[in-house]
């Protein structure tokens, strides 16, 4: 039997540093936990050998995920339950963690070759919302999700889990200055739309007027404050989701889902 690595082993201790943003930035790596995230990571490693550095797994998890681990060339290391727990940011560790290379791309790639649909998050703080937006963007065919300066880190453990593997399906841009990016994208022919509860243009009207025709970038703001007015003013239009009820507003990730799904339908 291979020796089980403990929480004190050098490899596990190094991986544990990746639970902090500074550690992730220093190492150029992040942690992906659980079957779905690790499966998507290993699928990427099938075409990019550097995408995943190592997988840590407990004996129980190795038995449960034998099919997944048997099909990869990525190094797999058995660890104790305590070691796996030290790498987990969940109440119930799953015993399966991959160390993955950071996969963000420069903002310039978005300008050079704009996708049909992209998303920019301005000072979005909640990792759960960020992961949900990533997942929704992926489902609606978005090519890129931009995490503007001041937003949560896309490699935060909760973002990775909430994205349910979608982090590995879209390009990610980190810490971008959104004002400059908006101007560059508009110059490249991209329509920039600001999601704003007080926007002048209803979402259905935006669709009818052709504002959702590709390429489009949606701007979404902070959960509590919304978009900074100065940033929203740079957009080609401020768009609101019409509401018939008495709710004060929509949850950020719900509003994003409605806007992105409507855009997907409009683009055909």
Q: Where are the alpha helices (DSSP H) in the chain?
A: 10-16, 21-27, 35-45, 59-64, 66-70, 81-87, 107-112, 127-139, 157-162, 178-187, 203-208, 229-232, 252-267
How many Cα atoms are found within 13 Å in the side-chain-facing hemisphere of 230? 3
pLDDT, block means (10 residues), the chain with 268 residues: 88 98 98 97 96 98 97 96 95 95 96 97 96 98 97 97 97 96 98 96 96 98 94 98 91 96 96
Tokens encoding 176: 């971008």
Domains of the chain with CATH codes: 10-101 (3.30.1330.30), 107-267 (3.40.1280.10)
């Amino acid at each position: 039997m291979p020796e089980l690595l403990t929480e004190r082993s050098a490899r596990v201790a190094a991986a544990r540093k990746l639970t902090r943003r500074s550690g992730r930035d220093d190492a150029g790596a992040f942690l992906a936990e659980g079957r779905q995230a690790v499966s998507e990571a290993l699928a990427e490693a099938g075409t990019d050998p550097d995408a995943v550095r190592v997988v840590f797994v407990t004996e129980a998890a190795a038995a449960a995920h034998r099919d997944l681990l048997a099909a990869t060339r990525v190094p797999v290391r058995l660890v104790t339950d305590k070691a796996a727990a030290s790498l987990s940011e969940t109440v119930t560790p799953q015993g399966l963690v991959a160390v993955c290379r950071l996969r963000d791309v420069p903002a310039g790639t978005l300008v050079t070759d704009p996708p049909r649909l992209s998303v920019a998050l301005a000072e979005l703080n909640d990792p759960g919302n960020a992961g949900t937006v990533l997942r929704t963007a992926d489902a609606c065919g978005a090519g890129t999700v931009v995490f503007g300066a001041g937003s949560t880190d896309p490699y935060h453990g909760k973002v990775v889990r909430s994205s349910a593997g979608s982090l590995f399906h879209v390009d990610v841009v980190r810490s971008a200055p959104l004002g400059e990016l908006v101007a560059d994208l508009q110059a490249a022919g991209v329509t920039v739309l600001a999601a704003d509860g007080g926007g002048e243009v209803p979402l259905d009207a935006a669709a009818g007027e052709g504002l959702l025709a590709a390429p489009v970038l949606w701007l979404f703001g902070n959960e509590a404050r919304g978009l900074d007015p100065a940033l929203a003013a740079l957009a080609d239009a401020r768009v609101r989701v019409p509401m018939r009820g008495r709710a004060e507003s929509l949850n950020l990730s719900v509003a994003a889902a409605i806007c992105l799904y409507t855009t997907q339908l409009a683009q055909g």
